[in-house]
Chains A and B, each alone.
Chain A
Amino acid sequence: MKTGTLRKTPGFRLVDAVIMLIVGAVMLICLLPFLHIIAISLSSKHAVLSNLVTIFPREIDFHAYEIVFQDSRMLWSMGLTIVLTVSYTLISMVMSICAAYPLTKENLKGRSAFMMLIVFTMFFSGGLIPEYLLVKQLSLLDNLMALIVPGMISAFNLIILRTFFTSIPASLEESAYLDGSSHIGTLIRIVLPLSLPVLATLSLFYAVSRWNGFMDALFYITNADLYPIQLKLYQVVMNSMVTDLTAQEGAAQVDVVPEGIKAASIMFATTPILIVYPWLQRYFVSGVMIGAVKG
């Protein structure tokens, strides 16, 4: 049936089949680790330990998920991360819009100075230790604000946004001014509604970076009650991994955390992204392209 529709494409040839085969193989490589981890998380302990699980679950068993969902700290971290991600994304977007819009106004005095101030930060930074000391000095250590404020604006996202705003016809804005609209009014009523794809894209970028980020949490958060999900996951997945590797000599391999629980925890932390991602895909593709065209 499928080959039937393919033949209708004019000039479908062997080359096309080969290309599809190659891309198909690459797709499989992208998916394989996920399939394997899902299979492990759903298989019985016995099947996992005797290495029977490949990409299909064996002896289906939800025990690992039961343990993950009974771990109140895991659920707490997840809830915390959701709140953190939403607030971070909102704040970042507002800040980015506030910075990007004035920078599109060619007549704005000091514009190029601000632009340079911003672009320079993309190539040079004070480094990790001074940033840490700053956060410490602002007494933000062990405070969730430390995961929001220091990374509020990404210069890269800001430039994408500015590029997009620039592409909106100036005549639209000018006619709004003639009708007595203020800058802020124009921004809210005209520019933002025309920028939905890029706004969706950048929101996704900010959200994903907050959701996946753990470097700052590792530096700034020591109170286990404030662990975001990735740091919590790090404890579950990585710490036991290191003991596994070093205890590899063979003798007493005490499995602190069974493979199944690791796998289930990984799926638990990945699922929200997997759910949101397909809905936003069409936005981010067009958004990135718009930002990229003028580089």
Chain B
Amino acid sequence: MSRSSAQQPLLSQTVLKPRRAMGLRRDYQLYLLMILPIAYFIVFKYVPMYGAAIAFQNYSIFQGVSGSEWVGFDNFRQLFAMSQFYQVVRNTLLLNFLDLFFSFPAPIVLALLLNELRVVWFKKVAQTILYLPHFISWIIIGGLVYQMFATNGGLVNNLIVSLGLEAVPFLTEKTIWVLVYLGTGIWHSAGWGTIIYLAALTGINKELYEAAEVDGAGRMKKMWHITLPGIRSTIVVMLIMQLGHIMTIGFERPFVMGNPLVMDYAEVISTFVYKSGLQAAQFSLATAMGLFQALVGLIFVVLANTIAKRFGEQGIW
């Protein structure tokens, strides 16, 4: 086909016809691009949602989802009757709420501090180092934590002992373990979390600071009356996302940091699903647990978003 004849219909479509008229024929390449991604989402995201039906079945590997016997809410009844269920849900909520309380403000404070730094090279070096822990795997962090906090030979305990004090059972005493768990989370993500707030800070109108300066505002006042309100909507969005994930807990962090002596606090939904489902092959029960978690989580997201909108914020949708 010659070049001019290929151009002709194209021109008439873009220029003469209203843009609305673009259809399948014009956009077939776009649909072509999307085939594989859409297939991916359907197969690997939506098929498992259908597969979650086994929570209502007495699932047998040989029968599959379509052939297994339906048992209604039996698996849920069995789950709710287990004392371990409450412990696992409690631990998930507890660790997540504490994380929210302690880890959520950390990047905000850190971003405000970084924002006040006026020595450019120092700020850059600081950012490079602060982002680093985010790129380290939980396996490695688990190893680092052990090297730092073990009762025999951990660096921190060596220091404590050399000061003539008694070694602290950081990893084996339940309540202290929770503190180590929280501290590790802050260590891992606080620096990285500043990125989003620093981005929001660049969006604040500089004239506001100048005006405040003319009015005689000091550093603290400017931070309180301009900087913080300036990143308020970012803080709210981040808070909603966190609240929405209050039931979801990553697998790797509790899995790596937990040990048999602190299981009363370290066993969370994700690790429980892994152990009861994949290790003990109670597929239906573990799926019921996962489905319970996903549904409650979804409710939290919707609630948090609605509340944010009530308070006049944008929300996430």
**A and B: partners?**
yes
Interface-located stretch among A63-71, A72-80, A115-123, A192-200: A115-123
Q: Is the interface of A mostly helix, strand, loop or mixed?
A: helix
- Beyond A153-B40, A244-B150: 19 further Cβ-contacts under 8 Å? A30-B130, A31-B129, A34-B144, A40-B147, A118-B41, A124-B49, A126-B48, A128-B274, A128-B278, A129-B287, A183-B29, A184-B29, A237-B140, A241-B146, A273-B136, A285-B127, A288-B195, A292-B195, A292-B234
Give the Cβ gap from A226 to chain B, nearest Cβ, in Å. Answer: 17
Interface residues of B in 1-45 (CB under 8 A from A): 3, 6-7, 10-11, 14, 19-20, 22-24, 27, 29-31, 33-34, 36-38, 40-41, 43-45
B6 contacts A19, C-beta separation under 8 Å: no
Query: CA separation between A40 and B148, bound complex, in Å?
Result: 11
Contact between chains at A123 and B38 (CB < 8 Å): no
Partner of A117, one of B41, B52, B187, B191: B41
* B199 on the A face (CB < 8 A): yes
A152 touching B138 by the CB < 8 A rule? no
Minimum C-beta distance from A253 to chain B (A): 8
Q: How many A-B residue pairs have CB under 8 A?
A: 296
Can you sample 29 A-B contacts with CB below 8 Å?
Answer: A15-B116, A16-B116, A22-B113, A23-B122, A27-B130, A34-B144, A98-B33, A114-B38, A119-B317, A121-B46, A124-B297, A129-B54, A129-B277, A130-B49, A130-B54, A131-B48, A174-B14, A177-B10, A177-B14, A178-B14, A182-B29, A183-B29, A212-B135, A241-B259, A242-B259, A277-B135, A292-B195, A292-B200, A293-B199
The one of A129, A266, A288 in contact with B144, judged by C-beta atoms closer than 8 angstroms, is A266
Which 6 pairs of residues, A with B, have the shortest CB-CB distance?
Answer: A127-B290, A126-B48, A130-B51, A212-B137, A99-B37, A102-B30
Q: Is A283 in contact with chain B by the CB < 8 A criterion?
A: no
| A245-270 vs B, Cβ < 8 Å mask (1 yes, 0 no) | 11010000100000100110010011
Main secondary structure of the interface of B (DSSP, over half): helix
